[in-house]
């Protein structure tokens, strides 16, 4: 059996899980390629018997993952498992990705998710899922890799009942109180200060935009077109040439309104059901109601120096 795990990871959470899954697969098969999505060829996956595809949850799947699936070729009948990391609300991801994978002729034989810390500046610090994925999570991911190999073998031998049912499709709608006008305004509110920009010496924003929405080689430069408001381009900019302060502060106010109504109850439910282990040094999830109400706890208040995120090291 020839296997591959393909992943997109922005802050390192999904990469850790992908590496653990690869470890579990290799213990079972002796082989498993591990490839970042930007380095993977969606037209050569016919060489593999089992494919893993992982990403963080951007409400649904990131656009680069969706584009990768769209470009897949010659994979009819191949086995694939999907996995993701998230900060508490993954329910839209699998219903979104599943039909796209089926359209390519893939057999989706498994799906799994893990909590991961969120580093967005319009969220509080510490975030309720801080510390994930931890060693327990990674051990679970390793076992998941082993399980996917065994399941693939048994399905190939005729046990089609092991193929999970399609996840229920849910309506994509904002939580009560969230203004999508602010969420969708990132591309128009992010500012580009050419006098601060180090291009062509620095290409960090261009290389790390998950939707290839930045091109500084043209005049006028292309900024956030297309865009998903992940904030990463501005966070990794070493000089502040990409300035998102106005947007982050505005969206933090929206977050403070709706997250106690949306995220915290979801985490409380997951904790009660044993699906979530709270790790931050805060007495209870109830305390996060106070955190979200007070903007002084938000990342944009803490991370003022540029770069706000150092690739390979984390928040500054």
Q: d(Cα 290, Cα 43) in Å, to the nearest integer?
A: 50
Task: Note the pLDDT tens digit of each residue in 61-80.
Answer: 999 999 999 999 999 999 99
Residue 183, pLDDT > 80, answer no
Query: C-alpha distances in angstroms, 271 versus 73, 113, 284, 289?
Result: 40, 15, 11, 16
pLDDT for res 100 = 97
- Report residue 52: phi and psi, to 5°: -110, 140
What number is the average pLDDT over the span 150-179? 82
What number is the average pLDDT over the span 19-45? 97
What number is the average pLDDT over the span 232-257? 92
Confidence of residue 229 (pLDDT cuts 50, 70, 90): confident
| Closest of 96, 97, 51, 53 to residue 75, by C-alpha | 51
Task: Note the pLDDT tens digit of each residue in 147-160.
Answer: 999 999 999 999 98
pLDDT for res 99 = 96
233, 13 Cβ separation under 8 angstroms:
no
What number is the average pLDDT over the span 258-272? 91
| Closest of 250, 255, 303 to residue 128, by C-alpha | 255
Q: Which long-range contacts (CB under 8 A, 24 or more apart) does 97-103 make?
A: 97/60, 97/61, 97/65, 97/66, 97/69, 98/166, 98/167, 99/166, 99/169, 100/66, 100/69, 100/70, 101/53, 101/69, 102/166
Greater confidence (83 vs 259) lies with 83
DSSP code, position 176: T
pLDDT for res 174 = 54
Return the biggest CA–CA distance within the chain.
Answer: 63
pLDDT for res 254 = 86
CATH superfamily of 3-162: Flavodoxin domain (3.40.50.360)
Share of the chain above pLDDT 70, in %: 96
Give me the residue spans of the domains in the chain. Answer: 3-162, 180-315
Task: Note the pLDDT tens digit of each residue in 95-115.
Answer: 999 999 999 999 999 999 999
What number is the average pLDDT over the span 117-121? 93
Share of the chain above pLDDT 90, in %: 78
Per mean pLDDT, which range of 24-28, 125-129, 165-169, 196-200 is the poorest? Answer: 165-169
pLDDT for res 95 = 95
Averaged pLDDT of the chain: 92
Residue 178, pLDDT > 80, answer no
């Amino acid at each position: 059996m020839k296997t591959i795990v393909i992943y997109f990871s922005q802050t390192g959470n999904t990469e850790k899980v992908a590496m653990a899954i690869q470890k579990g697969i290799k213990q079972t098969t002796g082989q498993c390629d591990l490839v970042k999505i930007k380095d993977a060829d969606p037209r050569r996956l016919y060489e593999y018997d089992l494919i893993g595809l992982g990403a963080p949850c951007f409400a649904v799947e990131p656009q680069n993952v969706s584009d990768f699936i769209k470009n897949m070729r010659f994979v009819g009948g191949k086995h694939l498992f999907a996995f993701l990391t998230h900060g508490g609300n993954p329910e839209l991801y699998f219903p979104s990705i599943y039909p796209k994978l089926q359209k390519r002729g893939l057999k989706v034989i498994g799906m799994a998710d893990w909590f991961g810390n969120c580093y967005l500046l319009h969220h509080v610090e510490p975030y309720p899922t801080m510390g994930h994925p931890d060693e327990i999570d990674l051990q679970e991911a390793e076992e998941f890799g082993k399980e996917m190999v065994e399941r693939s073998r048994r399905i190939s031998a005729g046990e089609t009942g092991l193929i999970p049912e399609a996840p229920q499709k849910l309506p994509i709608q904002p939580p009560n109180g969230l203004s999508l006008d602010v969420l969708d305004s990132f591309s128009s509110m992010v500012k580009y200060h050419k006098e601060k920009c180090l291009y062509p010496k620095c290409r960090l924003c261009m290389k790390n935009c998950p939707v290839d929405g930045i091109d500084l080689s043209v005049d006028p430069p292309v900024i956030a077109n297309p865009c998903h408001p992940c904030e990463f381009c501005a966070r990794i900019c070493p000089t502040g040439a990409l300035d998102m302060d106005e947007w982050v502060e505005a969206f933090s106010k929206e977050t403070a309104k709706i997250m106690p109504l949306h995220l915290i109850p979801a985490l409380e439910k997951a904790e009660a059901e044993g699906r979530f282990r709270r790790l931050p040094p805060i007495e209870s999830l109830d305390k996060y109601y106070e955190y979200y109400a007070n903007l002084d706890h938000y990342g944009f208040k803490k991370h003022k120096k540029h770069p706000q995120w150092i690739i390979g090291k984390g928040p500054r």
